[in-house]
Amino acid sequence: MTDKAQTLILEGIPVSPGLAEGAIHLQHTLLGPIDTPEPVGQGGVEEEFSRLDAATASISNDLLALATRVEKEIDTRLSGVFEAHQLMANDPSLREELRREIAENLISAGSAVKTVFLRWEKRFLLMESQIARDKSDDMHDVAIRLRNALAGITVHPLDRIPHGCVLAVSRLLPSDTVFLASRSIAAVLLEHGSVASHAALFAREMGLPCISKLPNLLSTASNGAWALVDADTGTVTFHPREQQKEIFRKKVEDKERSYAYARERAAIPATTKDGITVSVLANVCCNEDTKKAMLNGAKGVGLYRMEQAYLGCVMPPGTDELLNEMRWTLEAAKGRPVIVRLLDIGADKPLPFIRFLAESNPSLGRRGIRLLREYPELLKTHLRAVLELSREFDVRVLVPMVTLPEDVAVVKKCLTELGAELDISPLPRLGAMIETPAAALSARKLAPHVDFLSFGTNDLTQYAFAADRENAAVEQYFDDASDVIFRLMQATHEDVPEMPLSVCGELAGRPEHIPRLLQCGIRTLSVAPALVPMVKEAIRKSTCGKPANKRG
Ligand code: PEP
Ligand code: MG
């Protein structure tokens, strides 16, 4: 492509931030070669059954190995995706359906996989919840793996991807993303894929700039065309002019310079211009995260999501298992405050060992503490593990999805009883997540039961705007930096001025909003490990305008 080609700008949704440039590598399909539908005679049916069983066993081993690798190298939560794929591949009803397809239609195992998986994928796509729809990607991924195993294909379609390119594809499946982890590409552009999809999660964890929902990307982009990718704003410029390249490179340099400066000062406390020191903690998922957070100057862990230890488990984990998992994940933060949030599981993120909760509106149903109140044994098991952890770590407990004072009172009672049983004193401090407008406006009633409050701005926005946080179709309604959210925080602070307030939702990691958060009385921010230095720098440039509360 020559410099004379027309400059073109496409706008999409930023999925994983960052700035990058490179030549476009267009990939029309990542599906790999597909064997043609193949009839088999009656006598071949048994052989197809055996081929199918062998392929399933082989991909199961691969998936478990992949899960272990991802857990070590990337993230525990993400390794759960491959454990789930392994469970999907071995689902008895899926196996039954595949065998029926072979036997009744006298077709090869490969052809049966294509038909049956397409059927399942469509079922998921028709479901209402975005989480269920994202499952169609998972089905697709498992299908490709199985068909490739049946066809003896071991080469991944991205095997020949050039170093440093900008990959343009229709959609990205979880295993494609892991594959990309070992290739040094500059950025990914997608036609489809929500911010909450597994692929998006991978891209963010790997720090790979990624923009999604770029309209007509595959028909617009051309192979080899130069592209400037601004995944901070969701803009991609094809065939940029020299001047546009210069401006972009200057932006990259500025960003790198300010990041390097912030990294150098990471260990220094974050004190505002008017002398108030703000705690910057980190949201962590795995052992690597905690190490990275501490190196980046985090004062401790502000959010450990307990569900990480549960996802992918077929049986409920016991106290010892949970304790070991938390010890390993939080190891680098020993001696510093660590906030463990109790299990925040909802009806649309079911645990395999809890009976299916048929609810027409799962995010307004039994989620977080509501579910724990219905399953007190589940609450006790992990609370016991958290209490055991508090013998070795400076633990605080956080209750998710609080709406009523009883939601925290129940946990306090349980904590007190278990503490006496285990002879633990003092008990960890207790906090409530403020994720519903009702909780934000009832701080006075929550206050007698808790020691601190932490705003989960992701859910607070979802519930304030009645906009599903995972549904890209209502994205324009989801504005977590809106006045509405700040006013809710301000009201909480005015109602309980002495109460330590923190923010652990995504909003805390956006430097441009930090001055306003501080003015709403927030004195603790918990952000992704990589963001800690920049957030501390933003605090240093801000003014609180008020004295810190006494208990902060
Ligand atoms: C939030 O809702 O802002 C939050 C931090 O919790 P999660 O994202 O885990 O729901
Ligand atoms: Mg939440």
- Block means of pLDDT (10 residues each) for the chain, 552 residues, are 76 90 82 58 89 91 79 66 84 90 90 84 66 71 84 66 88 72 82 71 79 90 95 95 97 93 94 97 88 95 88 78 93 98 76 68 89 92 97 98 97 98 97 97 98 95 88 79 96 98 92 95 94 95 71 42
3 HSE (CA, 13 A, CB side): 5
Q: Is 504 in the pocket of ligand 1 (CB under 6 A)?
A: yes
Catalytic residue among 140, 198, 449, 493: 198
Q: How many CB atoms lie within 10 A of CB 33?
A: 10
> Can you give the residue ranges of every domain in the chain?
8-30+159-258, 42-151, 265-540
Ligand 1, residue 507: give the atom nearest the CA: 3
Pocket probe mutation, ligand 1, options 201, 342, 344, 401, max atoms within 8 Å of Cβ: 344
The CATH T-level fold of domain 42-151 is Enzyme I; Chain A, domain 2 (1.10.274)
pLDDT at 233: 92
pLDDT at 356: 60
Task: Respond yes or no: is residue 85 known to be catalytic.
Answer: no
| Chain center to CA of 253 | 28
Q: Is 505 in the pocket of ligand 1 (CB under 6 A)?
A: yes
Bridge partner list, 280: 525
288, two tokens: 């690597």
pLDDT per position as a tens digit, 185-210: 899 999 887 665 667 767 777 778 99
The CATH T-level fold of domain 8-30+159-258 is Glucose Oxidase; domain 1 (3.50.30)
For residue 21, count CB atoms less than 10 angstroms from its CB and return exposed for 0-12, middle for 13-18, buried for 19 or more: buried
Task: Respond yes or no: is residue 504 known to be catalytic.
Answer: yes
Over its C-alpha atoms, the chain yields an Rg (Å, rounded) of 25
Q: Is 509 in the pocket of ligand 1 (CB under 6 A)?
A: no
pTM of the model: 0.71
Residue of 449, 465, 462 lying closest to 405 (CA atoms):
449
Q: Rounded distance, CA 262 to CA 249, Å?
A: 20
How far, CA to CA in Å, does 200 sit from each of 124, 134, 177, 284?
19, 11, 9, 17
Q: Rounded distance, CA 524 to CA 548, Å?
A: 11
- State in Å: Cα 434 to ligand 2 middle: 9
Residue identifier of the C-alpha nearest atom 4 of ligand 1: 456
- State in Å: Cα 342 to ligand 2 middle: 11
- State in Å: Cα 468 to ligand 2 middle: 12
Q: Rounded distance, CA 63 to CA 76, Å?
A: 14
265-540 CATH: 3.20.20.60
Tell whether 384 is in a known binding site.
no
Pocket probe mutation, ligand 1, options 459, 468, 507, 513, max atoms within 8 Å of Cβ: 459
**String of DSSP letters for 460-514:** HHHHHHT--TT-GGGGGG--TTSHHHHHHHHHHHHHSTTS-EEE-SGGGG-GGGH
Q: Rounded distance, CA 174 to CA 142, Å?
A: 10
Ligand 1, residue 305: give the atom nearest the CA: 9
pLDDT per position as a tens digit, 222-247: 999 999 999 999 999 999 999 999 99
State the sign of the Cα–Cα–Cα–Cα dihedral 112, 115, 118, 119: negative
Q: Is 158 in the pocket of ligand 1 (CB under 6 A)?
A: no
Q: Are 27 and 168 in contact (CB under 8 A)?
A: yes
390, two tokens: 């508090």
Tell whether 458 is in a known binding site.
yes
CA angle 69, 72, 73 (to 5 degrees): 80
Task: Name residues whose C-beta falls within 8 Å of residue 150's C-beta, 6 or more positions apart in sequence.
Answer: 35, 51, 52, 55, 108, 109, 110, 113
Q: Are 311 and 350 in contact (CB under 8 A)?
A: no
Q: Rounded distance, CA 491 to CA 322, Å?
A: 37
- State in Å: Cα 305 to ligand 1 middle: 9
Residue of 334, 353, 342 lying closest to 308 (CA atoms):
342
504, two tokens: 């652990």
- State in Å: Cα 323 to ligand 1 middle: 22
Residue of 364, 348, 351 lying closest to 401 (CA atoms):
364
| DSSP category for residue 7 | P
